[in-house]
Amino acid sequence: MSDPEVTEVFEKCLGCRYMVALLRHIEDGVNRPGQLQRAVDGMTAKVLSERLKRLVEYGIVERASYPEIPPRVEYDLSSFGRRLLEIIDEVDELQRQARMTKNG
């Protein structure tokens, strides 16, 4: 039987609103909170902050803060996060295939 932790990553991370979009933007080099909020349509700063915190908690992204004025913070995918994103792409591809088969 399966590991309860898979369920957890899906429930707490990937299954949350904006998460996939968020990860994709980080992958594309959009690393700062301000930019991320502008990039992901409809996501408020509060929710963004919660999501980022959780992604760090699950080891999917890593946080780096630079004590400058104004303060700068950057988020990047961990190696685990990068591989996770590859898997998400597989689901993407799978859906594309399923759609093709269905629609001709």
- Please name which of 72, 39, 35, 33 lies closest in space to residue 55, comparing C-alpha atoms: 33
Helix (H, G, I), strand (E, B) or coil at 3: coil
Between residues 14 and 85, which has the closer beta carbon with respect to DNA? 14
Whether 77 and 55 have beta carbons less than 8 Å apart is answered as no
Q: CA 2: distance to chain centroid?
A: 23
Is residue 41 close enough to count as binding a copy of itself by CB under 8 A? no
Contacting residue, 5, 42, 46, 104, with a copy of itself by CB under 8 A: 5
Is residue 68 close enough to count as binding a copy of itself by CB under 8 A? no
HSE-up (13 A, CA, CB side) for residue 6? 3
Between residues 64 and 91, which has the closer beta carbon with respect to a copy of itself? 91
Is residue 83 close enough to count as binding a copy of itself by CB under 8 A? yes
Which residues of this chain interact with DNA, rule CB under 7 A?
12, 16-17, 32-34, 42-47, 49-50, 52-53, 63, 65, 70-73
